[in-house]
C-alpha cells in the first residue's frame, strides 16, 4: 500500500460518514465545519460546485482546528491543483479522467477517484487505486450492487456517495468493502441558511454514532 493510500485511509477511517458540502457563502464555511467537527465528523468534503468553494476550503483549512478538509467534484487537473493550493488534504472526483490522474500522480495529496462499474474499478486498480468513491451510489445499484462487487474485486474498498441518508447508511456500512459513506444530510441547506450550528452538530453526532 502506498503512502498516499495510507494517508487517505487514515482520513476516511476517522468517522463512518464524510459530510459532502455545497458551500454557497464563504462566511458560513468555518462555523459549519466547526459544528461538524464538534459532532465528531472531522473529515469534510467541500465540493467545487459554487464560486465560494475554493475560498471555503482555504478558510476551513486555516481556521478549523481538528478538521481534515478535502475538495470534491474535481473534474480536471486545473481544479486539482487549485484545490491543493487552497489547502485540501484529500481530493475527490465523481469519476476519472486522464488529466486528473496525471495531476494526482504529481501531487503528494491523495485522490479518491469515483467509479460506478466493474470496468471502471478494474481500470483504477491498474492505475494503483484500491480506495475508491462509489458514485452515484443509490442510482448505480445501491448496497446490493456494491456487495456483488466485493468478491470478484476483493481488496478494493469504497466510500459510497449519492442518495445516502441516515436511513440507508447502515446498508452500506455493514458491507466488508465499505470504509465509510459520504452524505449531505448532515448539513441541510435550511439549517446552514439559519445558522443553526447546534442543529448541525446534533445531526453530525447521530452520523458519527453509526458503525463503520
Residue 133 is a catalytic residue: yes
Residue 163 DSSP code: S
Given the residues 4, 45, 58, 138, the one annotated as active site: 45
Whether residue 17 contacts residue 181, with contact meaning beta carbons closer than 8 Å, is answered with: yes
List 133, 147, 167, 190, catalytic entry: 133
189 part of the active site: no
Separation CA 25–CA 49 (nearest Å):
12
What DSSP string describes 28-71? HHHHHHHHHHHTT--EEEEES-STTHHHHHHHHHHH-TT-EEEE
> Is residue 17 exposed (0-12), middle (13-18) or buried (19+ Cβ within 10 Å)?
buried
Any idea which residues carry the catalytic annotation? 45, 133
Amino acid at each position: 500500500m502506498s503512502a498516499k493510500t495510507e494517508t487517505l485511509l487514515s482520513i476516511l477511517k476517522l468517522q463512518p460518514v464524510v459530510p459532502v458540502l455545497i458551500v454557497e457563502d464563504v462566511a458560513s464555511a468555518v462555523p459549519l465545519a466547526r459544528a461538524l467537527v464538534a459532532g465528531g465528523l472531522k473529515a469534510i468534503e467541500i465540493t467545487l460546485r459554487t464560486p465560494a468553494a475554493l475560498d471555503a476550503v482555504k478558510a476551513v483549512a486555516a481556521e478549523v482546528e481538528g478538521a481534515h478538509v478535502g475538495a470534491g467534484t474535481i473534474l480536471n487537473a486545473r481544479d486539482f491543483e487549485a484545490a491543493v493550493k487552497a489547502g485540501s488534504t484529500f481530493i475527490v472526483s465523481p469519476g476519472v479522467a486522464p488529466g486528473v490522474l496525471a495531476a494526482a500522480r504529481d501531487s503528494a495529496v491523495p485522490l479518491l477517484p469515483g467509479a460506478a462499474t466493474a470496468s471502471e474499478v478494474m481500470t483504477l486498480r491498474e492505475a494503483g487505486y484500491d480506495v475508491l468513491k462509489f458514485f452515484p451510489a443509490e442510482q448505480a445499484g445501491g448496497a446490493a450492487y456494491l456487495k456483488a462487487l466485493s468478491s470478484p474485486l476483493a481488496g478494493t474498498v469504497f466510500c459510497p456517495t449519492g442518495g445516502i441518508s441516515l436511513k440507508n447508511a447502515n446498508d452500506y456500512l455493514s458491507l466488508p468493502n465499505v470504509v465509510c459513506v459520504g452524505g449531505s444530510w448532515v448539513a441541510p441547506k435550511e439549517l446552514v441558511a439559519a445558522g443553526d450550528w447546534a442543529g448541525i452538530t446534533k445531526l453530525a453526532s447521530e452520523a458519527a454514532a453509526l458503525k463503520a
